[in-house]
Structure 1
Amino acid sequence: MVHKTDIEIARAADKKPIQEVGARLGIGADDLLPYGHDKAKVTAGFIAGLADRPQGKLVLVTAINPTPAGEGKTTTTVGLGDGLSRIGKKTAICIREASLGPCFGMKGGAAGGGHAQVVPMEEMNLHFTGDFHAITSAHNLLAALIDNHIHWGNALGIDQRRVAWRRVMDMNDRALRDIVCSLGGVANGFPRETGFDITVASEVMAILCLASDLSDLERRLGDIIVGYTRERAPVTARDLKAEGAMTVLLKDALQPNLVQTLEHTPAFVHGGPFANIAHGCNSVIATTTALRLADYVVTEAGFGADLGAEKFMNIKCRKAGLSPAAVVVVATIKALKMNGGVAKDALGAEDVAAVEKGCANLGRHIENVKSFGVPAVVAINHFAGDTEAEIAAVKAYAAGQGSEAILCTHWAEGGAGAEALAERVVALAEADHHGFAPLYPDEMGLFQKIETIAKRIYRADAVLADKKIRDQLHAWEDAGYGDLPICMAKTQYSFSTDPNLRGAPTGHSVPVREVRLAAGAGFVVVICGEIMTMPGLPRVPSAEAIGLNDLGQVEGLF
């Protein structure tokens, strides 16, 4: 049997006009700003009018630590959304937009896969509605204003050695990580060291995804700390009079994008901060809009539950007043085998013992999710080579953890393959829990918050941070930033900071390399181990296989 590729399935989709998709949620044609026939933005005026409506149930899809074998978190998010629609629930999906970096690098796109996809797949994985370009432009406008201010006399007294605002682009390019700018003489300004991050690591991206409306967006943009004076006093974007122009560039980007799944379930695709270097969730404005229009909203958080789900609970839910009703932890047999020590080229052979060993990783994620007071169910994202014995081992392990593992075949069968999962999610969500709480209180000290995440989520013995970093955290506390949550930046491949340490390691420590204050987004970024805020391309980038065919259609996206 010849399987169609994701892009072939997406291209053959029977898409509804976007006005019909909006109508399923009660969004009128006049409240949509169409981008072609199959995607649109939802207007700010319509969203403002929803403020008094009750909210539906919020379901988070997360996963075990990712491996090269793949887990299919977005695929499961889409499949579950379609499954909920099939069992009669008014459902919407909320996911992130795709970054061009991983799309042309190694990870691929972000529209799901198989028969559980959001369409139009090509546009979603490329320029879409231009949101990321707007964020890139707004971020770099601020960078240009900083250097321009210094060039024309530096009235604010910015210390060039302490400019904290780097530039961004939405591409993996290691050559730009650390650069020297303003070379070429007096006319080009004062030379200094700087660098580029990827757009999805930009504080502007995080701000867009956490802002509640345009005025909140402008306030947060103004709060961005761009650098410090020689006396260590912070200089903000507001001091540079930058926030108004930045807001103008972002006014359309703040409006959520509406598209559809292959089975026409409405899907809000908006925002896209990375989860290993940012907070990894789609926009608050898209999620809260969906919750006021649907009975069930299925969203995802990036990478494993140690990163995405932790930040979803401790940052997004805390700041937006959200409370998830249930959590789905996605696993694949192959990924569990890799966590059990099997090499990638040996994953095809049945190995129940390796599955059982790898389940330690799954078990820790279940335990961590439950520590937030939210019920968890496991979705086994089915692959053709999975054996009955391997599947039975995962089900038995989940039952032993006080949870349940459900086999899901949505990749091959669409929503029909996720109906059992949908039924279980509804049962969990409609039970009266009222137990959700973030991991730490606002008033806890910043270093204590870092230790709490490291010890309770990663199971580390200690956090290693030199005096300079601890002094910086204390200084921020003294300046009034002590109540901010923590955004950990670390490898996604392990509970530890060593990407090769799979399974459920203990006895490790978390080395903190750098801390950054994201005053506009409202969190402190803690950079651990060797994590990079500007990725590089792999030896064989996906870009080498992407092109147009004779019909002018895109090939090679996945």
Structure 2
Amino acid sequence: MGYKSDIEIAREANKKPIMEIGAKLGMEPNDLLPYGHDKAKVSQEFINSVQGKEDGKLILVTAINPTPAGEGKTTTTVGLGDGLNAIGKNAMICIREASLGPNFGMKGGAAGGGYAQVVPMEEMNLHFTGDFHAITSAHSLLSAMIDNHIYWGNEQEIDTRRVAWRRVVDMNDRALRQITASLGGVSNGFPRETGFDITVASEVMAILCLATDLADLEKRLGDIIVAYRRDKTPVYCRDIKASGAMTVLLKDAMQPNLVQTLENNPAFVHGGPFANIAHGCNSVIATKTALKVADYVVTEAGFGADLGAEKFMNIKCRKAGLAPDCVVLVATVRAMKMNGGVAKADLGEENVAAVQDGCANLGRHIGNVKSFGVPVVVAINHFVTDTDAEVAAVKEYVEGQGSEAILCQHWAHGSEGTKELATRVAEIADSGVSQFAPLYRDDMPLFEKIETIAKRIYRADEVLADAKIRNQLREWEEAGYGNLPVCMAKTQYSFSTDPNLRGAPVGHSVPVREVRLSAGAGFIVVVCGEIMTMPGLPRKPAAETICLNADGEIEGLF
């Protein structure tokens, strides 16, 4: 039988006016700033008005390491949110906004799939409410003001060899990774090397996603270290006097976006730092607001649990005072087969032995998440080619790990396909068994924090870092930044830093190439292996097949 594409299903959605969706959460029309008929921003006044309410239960959806077979983490997040509502619970979901870069690159969209999607799908994957444009603009304003400050006499005595603030654009553009700026003579300033990262790797994005309100946002922006003087003392964004204007640009972007699922259940879609090169979670303000207006909040963290869940626990929860009540770990039979050595072209054929071989990756993620003291349920995201024997093999393996696996068919059947998962997740969340604690203490030395993650989460033997990096970490500790968590920038495809090493590798090393201090966001970025903070487009980018059809509708987003 022929299946409809995600965009075809999304286009047929029976959307309700966004005011109706807000009403489900107790929002009056004045509490929402509409962007068209199907999306709106939530006012700060409403957010302030619900602070006295009790928090609902927090459910994190994470996954195994991604494979080309596809896992469906966002699809499962949406399906579980719909499933909880279908069994009579007051639930909502919180997911990240999509970056244009991967939409036009390999990924092609990030709003769920099949009958478990958030709509409007096209807008969410493109400009949406302009949040990412605002972040790019605020970041660019600071970039411009730094070079302008140097041009007009350099009152702060910035060492132009030590400008730490790079530029950003929300596109995969490898040509911009390393550039020389200010060429062309006296009137254009002082030439220096710089480069671009993708907007979702910007510290401004991380700050927006971790700030509690506009005052906190402005303070954090002011705390950004933009450069160093010749005596190595830091120059802050507030020294350049940019934080006020940046906050003005981010005023609306700071407010969570309300949209709906295909089943007309509420969803906050807000913020979107990458999980491999940034901290990979939607905004704290959206998650905390959702916990005040819903009894169950389903949120996701990017890529596999070795990245997204680890950062959700060690960075977001630590900083925001949150604690997950239950974790759902998404896996697919197809991905197990790929981890078991089956080629993508052969995934349609039954291969129970390969499923069993590939389960080691899943097992390690289960153990890692449990190490945070949180109960784990595995959601087997069903594909039509899965056989009963293959599904049974995954369930049996997970039981052997002291957890449970539940088959989910939300892609094909919406909430009908996640009722069993929703029922079990609600039971676990309500039971209060979660004993959440971050993996390392605030006062642990920075290099030990890196080693803790490398050894306990990645199961590496050692961290390789030269004296320059270790000295840099020690200098930051002496400057008062030793209590910050670390944000590991690592490939998403493997527990190791080698993207081709599938399964559950041991005996590997984690090479640290560079460390960056994000003083405003409040973490240290640790760049490992070959990971890039500016991705490139693949040989055949998705952009080649994205276009408008004869009816003026968007084709090619999936």
Instruction: Verify same fold: TM over 0.5.
Output: yes
Residue identity matched to 1:489: A
1:350 maps to 2:350? yes
How far apart, CA to CA, are the structure 2 residues paired with 1:443 and 1:176? 37
Residue identity matched to 2:209: C
Q: Which residue of 2 aligns with 1:315?
A: 315
Give per-residue Cα distances to partners, 1:240-263, cap 9 Å, x unaligned: 000000000000000000000000
Deviation at 1:393, TM superposition (A): 0.2
Tell me, which stretches of 5 or more residues in structure 1 are unaligned? none
Q: Which residue of 1 aligns with 2:454?
A: 454
Q: Which residue of 1 aligns with 2:38?
A: 38
Residue identity matched to 1:117: Q
Q: Which residue of 2 aligns with 1:102?
A: 102
Give per-residue Cα distances to partners, 1:240-292, cap 9 Å, x unaligned: 00000000000000000000000011000000000000000000000000000
Q: Which residue of 1 aligns with 2:168?
A: 168
Q: Which residue of 1 aligns with 2:427?
A: 427
Q: Is the 2:375–2:434 contact (alpha carbons within 8 Å) kept by the matching residues of 1?
A: no
Residue identity matched to 1:300: E
Q: How does 1:269-418 map to 2 (within 5 A)?
A: 269-418=269-418
Q: Is the 2:326–2:434 contact (alpha carbons within 8 Å) kept by the matching residues of 1?
A: no
Residue identity matched to 1:33: L
Deviation at 1:430, TM superposition (A): 1.2
Deviation at 1:347, TM superposition (A): 1.2
Q: How does 1:66-215 map to 2 (within 5 A)?
A: 66-215=66-215
Q: Is the 2:169–2:199 contact (alpha carbons within 8 Å) kept by the matching residues of 1?
A: yes
Deviation at 1:2, TM superposition (A): 1.6
Q: Is the 2:169–2:198 contact (alpha carbons within 8 Å) kept by the matching residues of 1?
A: yes
SS in 2 for 1:471: helix
Deviation at 1:381, TM superposition (A): 0.3
SS in 2 for 1:248: helix
How far apart, CA to CA, are the structure 2 residues paired with 1:299 and 1:111? 13
Q: How does 1:208-287 map to 2 (within 5 A)?
A: 208-287=208-287
How far apart, CA to CA, are the structure 2 residues paired with 1:53 and 1:511? 46
How far apart, CA to CA, are the structure 1 residues paired with 2:347 and 2:163? 48
Deviation at 1:49, TM superposition (A): 1.5
Structure 1 stretch 519-528 or stretch 427-436: which is displaced more?
427-436
Size of the alignment, in residue pairs?
A: 558
Deviation at 1:56, TM superposition (A): 0.1
Q: Which residue of 1 aligns with 2:3?
A: 3
SS in 2 for 1:204: helix
How high is the TM-score relative to the length of structure 2? Answer: 1.00
For the aligned residue pairs, the C-alpha RMSD in angstroms reads 0.5
How high is the TM-score relative to the length of structure 1? Answer: 1.00
Q: Which residue of 1 aligns with 2:523?
A: 523
Could you list the runs of 4 or more consecutive aligned residues of structure 1 that deviate by over 6 angstroms after TM superposition?
none
Q: Which residue of 2 aligns with 1:532?
A: 532
How far apart, CA to CA, are the structure 2 residues paired with 1:348 and 1:186? 63
Q: Is the 2:271–2:282 contact (alpha carbons within 8 Å) kept by the matching residues of 1?
A: yes
1:437 maps to 2:466? no
Deviation at 1:434, TM superposition (A): 4.4
SS in 1 for 2:239: coil
SS in 1 for 2:240: coil
SS in 1 for 2:514: strand
Deviation at 1:436, TM superposition (A): 0.4
Give per-residue Cα distances to partners, 1:228-250, cap 9 Å, x unaligned: 00110000100000000000000
Structure 1 stretch 49-58 or stretch 499-508: which is displaced more?
49-58
What's the % identity of the aligned pairs? Answer: 78
How far apart, CA to CA, are the structure 1 residues paired with 2:308 and 2:106? 19
How far apart, CA to CA, are the structure 1 residues paired with 2:434 and 2:530? 39
Deviation at 1:401, TM superposition (A): 0.5
Give per-residue Cα distances to partners, 1:30-66, cap 9 Å, x unaligned: 1000000000000011101222111000000000000
Give per-residue Cα distances to partners, 1:311-337, cap 9 Å, x unaligned: 000000000000100000000111111
Deviation at 1:520, TM superposition (A): 0.2
How far apart, CA to CA, are the structure 2 residues paired with 1:72 and 1:499? 19
Give per-residue Cα distances to partners, 1:207-233, cap 9 Å, x unaligned: 000000000000000000001001100
How far apart, CA to CA, are the structure 2 residues paired with 1:48 and 1:187? 48
Residue identity matched to 1:408: C
How far apart, CA to CA, are the structure 2 residues paired with 1:433 and 1:441? 22
Structure 1 stretch 540-549 or stretch 334-343: which is displaced more?
334-343
Deviation at 1:346, TM superposition (A): 1.6
How far apart, CA to CA, are the structure 2 residues paired with 1:319 and 1:35? 31
Q: Is the 2:325–2:432 contact (alpha carbons within 8 Å) kept by the matching residues of 1?
A: no
SS in 2 for 1:36: coil
How far apart, CA to CA, are the structure 2 residues paired with 1:10 and 1:107? 17
How far apart, CA to CA, are the structure 2 residues paired with 1:520 and 1:51? 25
How far apart, CA to CA, are the structure 1 residues paired with 2:35 and 2:295? 27
Q: Is the 2:119–2:260 contact (alpha carbons within 8 Å) kept by the matching residues of 1?
A: yes
Tell me, which stretches of 5 or more residues in structure 2 are unaligned? none
How far apart, CA to CA, are the structure 2 residues paired with 1:129 and 1:527? 31
Deviation at 1:432, TM superposition (A): 2.4
Q: How does 1:47-66 map to 2 (within 5 A)?
A: 47-66=47-66
How far apart, CA to CA, are the structure 2 residues paired with 1:535 and 1:335? 24
Q: Which residue of 2 aligns with 1:496?
A: 496
Give per-residue Cα distances to partners, 1:121-145, cap 9 Å, x unaligned: 0000000000000000000100000
Q: Which residue of 2 aligns with 1:479?
A: 479
Q: Is the 2:324–2:434 contact (alpha carbons within 8 Å) kept by the matching residues of 1?
A: no
Deviation at 1:181, TM superposition (A): 0.6
How far apart, CA to CA, are the structure 2 residues paired with 1:451 and 1:273? 23
Give per-residue Cα distances to partners, 1:493-518, cap 9 Å, x unaligned: 00000000000000001000000000
Q: Is the 2:493–2:499 contact (alpha carbons within 8 Å) kept by the matching residues of 1?
A: yes
Residue identity matched to 1:488: M
1:549 maps to 2:557? no
How far apart, CA to CA, are the structure 1 residues paired with 2:433 and 2:384? 36
How far apart, CA to CA, are the structure 2 residues paired with 1:84 and 1:433? 19
How far apart, CA to CA, are the structure 2 residues paired with 1:185 and 1:537? 33
How far apart, CA to CA, are the structure 1 residues paired with 2:309 and 2:218? 27
Q: How does 1:459-474 map to 2 (within 5 A)?
A: 459-474=459-474
SS in 2 for 1:280: coil
SS in 1 for 2:76: helix
SS in 1 for 2:238: coil
